[in-house]
Structure 1
């Protein structure tokens, strides 16, 4: 199983030099990928996530200043040689599909094929408003957006009919080095079914093993019902990692890091192919790398 690291590209005190140092260090210790988030703004009012009944009193503070994920990954591509470069996850519906496909392909070319794309539809009404995109495009619009991106990456000439995201017969480049996997995130049962139907892989955000196991069981059943083989689609899990937190039974990557290798074994048993750890804001580069080193592919012991 691969292990990756979420970079802290959001927050008032983000230091670009420290992001580079963390990405270079992650590559040095043998991690498989670094990942960055996508947020457009931090509203000065409570927001609610569709499908989640609890009203959030205020959006997270790091939403207020987030380095653009693709621009940042292109910068990191020039400072690294091997490590994967991923979005976790980009809100695709805020972007025209031709533009987003070209930007991801540019990243893939600049990094010699290291781009990975965690994707979601987006959920915050305020972000849809500033992107001048109606939230009603969620659902089928997300399907069509990914289809348009894949059309752009196909051989020229590109042409796509339809009332949403049509593309006139054109040459559009650059093309990616290979297939950029579109790893679909979700917040609802409908989103999980959609991921099974149209994704190149699944991108859950879970710390609880029981919840994750239920999601994976349902996703695999939905994929098979759609005539797809879930074994051919990677599961890339995002988790909140906190070595200072109290132990939480049934949750991974909380509490003493000495226990975290066992969490990797538990996730691998569930069929997770890659897990990326996002540390709390304010965790230093040195602290992060010290905790991650025993988990990296090159240094962790094989399960007994």
Structure 2
């Protein structure tokens, strides 16, 4: 099990100084990865919570992290596919991979906020089928000399994209989502799965079994997939509860039983 840490990209602590300190110190201490997330907008009443009220753009934040570190892997959990045309996402993620020396992990999903869908002009209909077409097309921009595509949702004239990402085949694509269709899509098409930070750790094993089963049904090797557990924790507000959690070994064993994956602890103050 490898442990990552969330970069401070949300709220009042999302400052250049804080990001720099967390990133440099996490690398010094040997953490495996640093993670960002995407939130374009939030409702004026704050119904989504303080975490989503003010959030830095994850692509820009990863570029900053790449400049301040040299070893730690850099992840986004997750970018919402419908908000980007496939070649735009391919170009941005490929560029991040070049600038970071091949350290990018690309978590992607289909989004959930109606307000964001409306604001960017995205279509919520047939989101699953769109993702089925999107993911293989995204990889082709990183692997094919010439990309030409005419699908149900996307059309690409015969063109090419350069430079190629540093990682062969491009950054690993880790699909988010908790519903069974999303889990099975991760097994069929992605390089792995990333959980929600609000997921119940006790339920991760069941989700991972669905992903692995879908991979086997598609003729893929389930053992080649990566699983990222995004777990939230808090300090300060409830120190007694935090001490209890530290003394309870079951809290530490649950991710191990869930399967082979990297763990991500996201602090929310």
Q: TM-score, normalised by structure 1?
A: 0.80
Cα 1:34–1:257 change in 2 (3 A) is: farther
Does 1:193 find its partner at 2:181? Answer: no
Does 1:111 find its partner at 2:100? Answer: yes
Q: Deviations over 1:165-188 (max 9, x none)?
A: 221111212211113111011131
Further displaced range: 210-219 or 57-66: 57-66
Does 1:171 find its partner at 2:160? Answer: yes
Map 1:45-60; keep pairs closer than 5 Å.
Answer: 58-60=47-49
Secondary structure at 1:88 match in 2: strand
Q: How much has 1:12 moved relative to structure 2? A: 4.4
Does 1:183 find its partner at 2:200? Answer: no
- Measure the CA separation in 2 of the matches of 1:260 and 1:73: 34
Does 1:36 find its partner at 2:27? Answer: no
Runs of 4+ in 1 over 6 A off after TM superposition: none
Aligned to 2:223: 231
- Measure the CA separation in 2 of the matches of 1:137 and 1:86: 27
Does 1:99 find its partner at 2:88? Answer: yes
Normalized per residue, the structure richer in helix is 2
Q: How much has 1:234 moved relative to structure 2? A: 0.7
The number of residues matched between the two structures is: 265
8 Å CA contact 1:152–1:158 kept in 2: the answer is yes
Q: How much has 1:61 moved relative to structure 2? A: 2.3
- Measure the CA separation in 1 of the matches of 2:51 and 2:213: 36
- Measure the CA separation in 1 of the matches of 2:243 and 2:199: 12
- Measure the CA separation in 2 of the matches of 1:153 and 1:256: 47
- Measure the CA separation in 1 of the matches of 2:148 and 2:114: 31
Q: Deviations over 1:172-218 (max 9, x none)?
A: 12211113111011131221122222111011125534311221222
Aligned to 2:262: 274
Secondary structure at 1:117 match in 2: strand
Map 1:126-137; keep pairs closer than 5 Å.
Answer: 126-137=115-126
Which of residues 140, 146, 153 is equivalent to 2:142? 153
- Measure the CA separation in 2 of the matches of 1:62 and 1:278: 11
Map 1:246-261; keep pairs closer than 5 Å.
Answer: 255-256=243-244, 258-259=246-247
Higher relative CO (CA 8 A, sep ≥ 6), structure 1 or 2?
A: 1
Q: How much has 1:256 moved relative to structure 2? A: 4.6
Cα 1:8–1:201 change in 2 (3 A) is: same
- Measure the CA separation in 2 of the matches of 1:268 and 1:186: 20
Normalized per residue, the structure richer in strand is 2
Secondary structure at 1:136 match in 2: coil
- Measure the CA separation in 1 of the matches of 2:98 and 2:247: 38
| Structural RMSD (CA) | 2.2
Cα 1:260–1:85 change in 2 (3 A) is: farther
Q: How much has 1:220 moved relative to structure 2? A: 2.0
Does 1:79 find its partner at 2:71? Answer: no
Structure 2 portions without partners, runs of 5+? none
8 Å CA contact 2:133–2:151 kept in 1: the answer is no
Structure 1 portions without partners, runs of 5+? 46-56, 249-253, 282-304
8 Å CA contact 1:223–1:229 kept in 2: the answer is yes
Q: TM-score, normalised by structure 2?
A: 0.90
